[in-house]
Amino acid sequence: MLAEHFIKQGWRTVSHDNGKDFDRELKEELNRKYEGREELDRGELEDKFRSRRRMLGLTALVLALVFLFSVTGRWIAIFTGPAFTFLQESWALSDDPLVEDLRGSVVQVFVENRGDAARGSMRGSGFNLHPDGLVVTNRHLVERAASVRVSFPGVGTFTAEQWTVYPDADLAVIKLQAEDLPVVELSGAPAYPDQEVLIIGNPLQFARIANRGEVIGYRNNPQSDIPLIVVEAMIYPGSSGSPVFNELGEVVGVIYATLRNSEPSEVKGLAVSAAELRKFLAELEFD
């Protein structure tokens, strides 16, 4: 009766003699039942792994492209824009002995401003007038400075002890503690219209770029009665404080701004005259 009950309920009875067969069948059934699931789980894991690997690869590619653009983007802009023109001219002028001699006295001016996060660090140009270090630059570069450093090519970088600004024009003088520094001379003659000039400075993060220019004439300064020299040349950010040399290698002016109403294809700069710089130097008093 008990056997019939098991049969009706779908159960199979086994004796002790066929227990091994039952165990084998049970294992086979369990294997059939779970092998598929194991394969499914393994497949899912492999799909997830491949998906994650593709995502990591895509992320790495994006990061690599961002890095590549950040490194090369500036150079692409340089070699496809107007900066390429002044680089070409500067390279050509490197063979001129006068240009190479003048470059030694043209400096880079590095400024850290105090309490002015918007202005932060600034970089401009300047030139040296005395072997012990008397560097001319622009007032707008150093008037809020907490520290000033001046770099000479092939000589080194000096931390300025003192600097002073000229209230009547955009001029400043930085005093260094040094000796035997290369110098340039100020011209005793004023710049004149149609005069060919040479400008050496540090535009667009480049150092001591030399370019030819031409004096257009003079214009009145709306903020004072000091006439300003208008120079047609390639003037860009970083050119502030650049000396304007005549054909003898004497300074006739100091670049301080770009003329805003000039045509896009014609870059013009404004310069303070050497005559005005002489007035400033005559008033200097350092400790």
Please choose, from the candidates 118, 201, 132, 204, the residue with its C-alpha nearest in 3D space to the C-alpha of residue 162.
132
Q: pLDDT band at 82, cuts 50/70/90? A: low
Task: Determine, yes or no, domain membership for 159.
Answer: yes
The answer to whether residues 67 and 123 belong to one domain is no
Lowest-confidence pick of 16-25, 90-99, 188-197: 16-25
Please report which helix (H) or strand (E) contains residue 3, including its range. Answer: helix 2-8
Residue 253 belongs to a domain: no
Residue 59, domain extent: 18-80
What is the distance between the alpha carbons of residues 82 and 234, in angstroms, rounded to a whole number? 9
Indicate whether 269 belongs to any domain: no
Structural domains of the chain, count? 2
| Residues 36, 43: Cα–Cα separation, whole Å | 10
Contact 218, 228 (CB under 8 A): yes
Domain stops at, among 145, 175, 205: 175
* Residue 49 maps to a domain: yes
**Model confidence at 233: pLDDT above 50:** yes
Diameter of the chain measured on Cα atoms:
134
Residues 69 and 126 in one domain: no
130 lies in a domain?
yes
Contact between 172 and 166 (Cβ < 8 Å): yes
Residue ending a domain, choose from 175, 198, 220 = 175
Angle, CA 271 vertex, CA 267 and CA 273 arms, to 5°: 150
Alpha-carbon gap, residue 244 to 180, rounded angstroms: 23
Residue 267 pLDDT greater than 90, yes or no: no
Query: Which residue, 111, 85, 105, is CA-closest to 267?
Result: 85
Q: For the chain, count helices (H), then strands (E).
A: 6, 13
**Among the three residues 153, 175, 197, which one is the final residue of a domain in this structure?**
175
11 domain-assigned: no
CATH number, residue 161? 2.40.10.10
In a domain, 44, yes or no: yes
Domain-located, residue 98: no
Pick the most confident of 78-82, 85-89, 206-210, 227-231.
Answer: 227-231
End-to-end C-alpha distance for the chain, whole angstroms = 124
Question: Residue for token digits 């001029």?
Answer: 171
Question: Which of the residue ranges 51-60, 76-85, 227-236, 257-266 would you say has the lowest mean pLDDT?
Answer: 76-85
- Are residues 171 and 110 part of one domain? yes
209, 202 contact by CB (below 8 A): yes
